[in-house]
A and B are shown apart, each in its own frame.
Chain A
Amino acid sequence: MLERGKISCVQTFYLLVVLVSATAVIFLPAITAEAAGRDAWMAPLLATLPGIFLALVISALGKRFPGQTLIQYLQAALGSWPGRAAGLLYLFYFLHTNGIIIREFGELMTAIVLPRTPPLVFHVLILLLCAWAVREGLEVLARVVELTFPFMIFLFTAAILLTAGDMKLGNLFPVLENGLKPIIKASLPPIGWRGEIILLAMFLPYLARPEAGGRCAVVAVLFIGLILTADAAANTLVFGPTVARLTFPTFTLVRQVSIANFLERIDAVLVALWVLGMFGKICLFYYAAVLGAAQLANLRSYRPLVLPVGVVLAALSIAAAENSREVTEYIVKGWPPFSLTIEYIFPTLVLAVAYLRGVGGVSKSPSAGGRNPE
């Protein structure tokens, strides 16, 4: 068995929330505001529906192929070689997306926190730490996220509430100025972001009770929707439509905070905690890539792959884009079609194919799940 650890439903919830919202909280308000203007806060809300759909698809796939991860049941559902090709595609998705995430992280760190440090330093440092965490396995990863999650939520809530003084309700009106179309257009990136929960398919078999995974994922998607909506709404309430012109609106928002003229500009603290969230996100994608590669190659352990994949990621994070603007452009234009295909359409197709071919046993009792047949 490649992974011995077991994680609980609550830990899955934490992992998924951190996975999606770590970057979304920072980048999404500007991206949605660009298309939807004042109605940006509706986009993440709208994106929740496809998220729930995806969670159910993953859960159905997990029930159909108990004890197998995405990479493994792709082969079972599509046949050996097409399945492997699809697995390679997913590996590329994990790696490339992670490269972009690391790049976003580095861009933000150089822009906000330590301007004179080369971004590669951030990339390599975070990758080294993540390599360590990934080596230790899913259980440790889950515990780290579990421990840091309350702090992140606390600080995020505090930051939003402390800006309440600067909020102007008028910024939200008029609602639906240009109709629904721009909102639907704006909701594409959030849908892509929400689709990152496809990673659940990589660790669903390692849940203590895999059959409950779908429920946890749905709750997580709803919670993510809440966070992102609150985030977008707070940004719009404070800045109005100008959000679209800010690179990192949430940080600009937190900069407004001044506690009793004593603690000002707590954005550095927010960054510090946000970095913990980024660790979780990067680690999960990293883990998925390493585990997937090991399963694709039928290795007995994924640990020998950890460091090499880390090197690939470090290179990819630099090569993925030329500059910060290109990263944003990619997220707005290139990312939605790519991610929607990989995250939503493909799993649905796999489920349909598996259903039509009659592969995978629904008859197997779901409580026997969680055992990797390897």
Chain B
Amino acid sequence: MVKNKKYRLEIKQPRLAAGIIFFTAKACGLPPAVNVWGVELKKILETLLRLITYQPDFDREGFILRENEYDRQSVPERRDGGQKSPGGPEGGGRNGGGEGSGRRTPRRAARPRRKDEPAGEAEPGRVHSRLDENRRAVERIYGLPANKDVILREFSLGTDPPLRAFMVFIDGLADRKSQYRLLENLMIHCRILRPGDVMSASRIMTSLLPGSQVKNLDSFEKIADAVNYGDTAFFFEGSDSALVVETKGWEARTVDRPETEQTITGPQEAFVENLRANIALIRKIIRSSDLYTEIIPVGARFRSDVAVMYIKDLANPDLVAEVKRRLSSITVDFVTDVGMLEQFIEDSPYNLNPQTLATERPDRVAAALAEGKVAMLLSGSPFALVVPTTMFSQLHTGEETYLRWQYGSFIRYIRTFSFYLALLLPGSYLAVTLYHQEMIPTELLLAIAGNRERVPFPTVVEMLLMEFSFELVREAGLRIPGIIGSTIGIVGALILGQAAVQANIVSPILVILVAVTGLASFSIPYYSLAFAVRIYRFFYIAMGALLGFYGITIGLFIQILLTVNLKTFGLPYLSPAGPRTFPGRDMVGRLPVFLQRRRPDYLNALDDVRLPGAPRGWVEGGDGGSEDGSDR
């Protein structure tokens, strides 16, 4: 009996689901299989149905960031269980199940494919030993007479006898000066060689080309990849491989001050669009041979490089493997910014909260790397993605660490408070004025009522009007051309503030409120998180207007439910608060740096201890600052 029941439960639901989808799609007049919209609709409906129906295999967590050996041994003694300290064998079993699920099979990134690959006689796509064949192949690849910015220059090596050769590069991407030097060497200085030597490509590479990075390649595909990225390829008569010399040198922005993450103290450098320069910016802060940079190509048709950076003996190897697995599984046309990359690799794309941290500050990336996180840089993007990230680190900036701890903590408390203000203030105002008037002191209540007397709209409409106008000013301020940008301030302040009050469209207290809310939301340092807060705010306005404080509580509960479920690369998004782990004294309040002896526990870094010895060794007694701050 019981077994039968189980069986039916499983079978019935998917059929029912499929039926409902089919009929709904039909009712909307969409043939579900043919029409693109129908397919989309089907997906949406499937998602909705998945929310309300029974799912037999409910494996949400494909990847769990587990404890390392060090933690596994020391945790049971140190604290009670924690979130992720089930015994060793059990954890292994869970992980195995997650990895083995067929849902996320790793796929290799599709290599760039070319329709008209050169068809040489011997091996298609290989460099031929006859120069003319190679030349024809290159012309075919780049469509040469028509394609004007690919330059093919023919010359002869100044050896005895002269050796015919040509070089290929893209105008504007390759650096002219280094090319001159290369040509100079090949055409003039090579006379020092003895006559009659066999001039193969490898011989030229070892003794003639002064470039610091030279590769000997024999596949046209790889050569084209390099040339497309600013390198110069040299083909020689009689060599069945080509030399690719690194001559990248396009016009680029120089390293500048940060635009979106400004600080008063600390380094004032920001990333630029050049991947190599960005990596160098990080490397020059972390001068360690343990800093690894792995390049993973992304983009099926137009290739971009993603540099995965981590510190080998700190970052959890599982985490690094997972990042690489996700990156290499992406199939996408092309990516231009880490913002696009983010959407491909984040755990829950349907959740409002951002689950990665994009930053333009190398020092911040370096600090994250030193904690055991993993950073991703994309060629052409002046931002780095840091994973995993928690909501608390999204509310941090680099600045607090550079300030003395009292100041840093102060700023963070202000910011946390303003986070709640930005989220809840308009909703709470509506709740108080609409449902809980008794909370307001009588004088203030009278003042509010007096102001509102001549306003013709309900408070909700008033609030939505002002919030909308504020968002409008904000958006317009971004889009408006720089020269007339200053007008937006005048328009915003004068017309929306003062005039609206004088015209009795809104009450003055509301203007103050919306302004405070706006200020508070600007103080959230991470742009994406500020977006999430802005959207949530409207949700709270609706809940406050509908059900008062009860509605706001419901809203809070919903938001907590949504965020508490979030994972960023196997790490709970709200850690170290929920689930509570050892916070590392750097959450909202920040203790002095010399007391932050351990790395954040939730990251499960390979080495937990940040300050092994006496952090303030000069103090008598050795251990510098003890916990109570006394240094005897």
Interface residues of A, Cβ cutoff 8 Å to B = 4, 6, 8-11, 109, 113-114, 117, 122, 125-126, 129, 132-133, 136, 139-140, 142-144, 146-148, 207-209, 212, 216, 261-266, 268-269, 271-273, 275-276, 279, 297-301, 303-304, 307, 367, 370-371
Contacts and interface: CB of A to CB of B under 8 A. Distances in A.
B556 A276 contact: yes
Contact of A301 (B56, B94, B547): B56
B579 interface: yes
B548 interface: yes
Interface string B1-43: 0100110010000000000000000000000000000000000
A147 B561 contact: no
B9 A272 contact: no
Contacts of A301: 54, 56, 58
B554 A129 contact: yes
Interface of B: 2, 5-6, 9, 52, 54-56, 58, 76, 80-87, 90, 94, 431-432, 435-436, 438-441, 547-550, 552-554, 556-558, 560-561, 564-565, 572, 574, 577-580
B560 A297 contact: no
B83 A8 contact: yes
Given A297-B2, A304-B9, A114 B435 contact: yes
Nearest to A209: B81
5 closest A-B pairs by beta carbon, nearest first, are A208-B81, A9-B80, A8-B81, A272-B549, A143-B578
A235 B90 CA distance: 49
Given A8-B579, A266-B439, 9 more contacts: A8-B83, A113-B550, A132-B561, A133-B561, A146-B580, A147-B578, A208-B81, A271-B549, A273-B553
Interface centre among A143, A212, A299, A367 (most CB of B within 10 A): A143
Given A122-B550, A301-B58, A144 B560 contact: yes
Nearest to A6: B86
Contacts of B6: 298-300
A284 to B, nearest CB: 14
Contacts of A126: 554
A140 B579 CA distance: 9
Interface centre among A132, A148, A262, A269 (most CB of B within 10 A): A269
A114 B550 contact: yes
A366 to B, nearest CB: 12
Contacts of B580: 8, 10-11, 146
Contact of A212 (B81, B82, B548, B554): B81
A59 B148 CA distance: 81
B530 to A, nearest CB: 21
Contacts of B80: 8-10, 208-209, 212, 216
Interface centre among A10, A129, A139, A144 (most CB of B within 10 A): A144
Contacts of A273: 553
B34 to A, nearest CB: 34
Contact of A147 (B76, B436, B440, B574): B574
Contacts of B54: 301, 303-304
A140 B574 contact: no
Contacts of A132: 561
Nearest to A215: B80
Nearest to B581: A8
Contacts of B86: 6, 208, 370
11 contacts: A6-B81, A6-B83, A11-B579, A114-B547, A125-B547, A129-B557, A146-B578, A212-B81, A269-B549, A300-B6, A303-B54
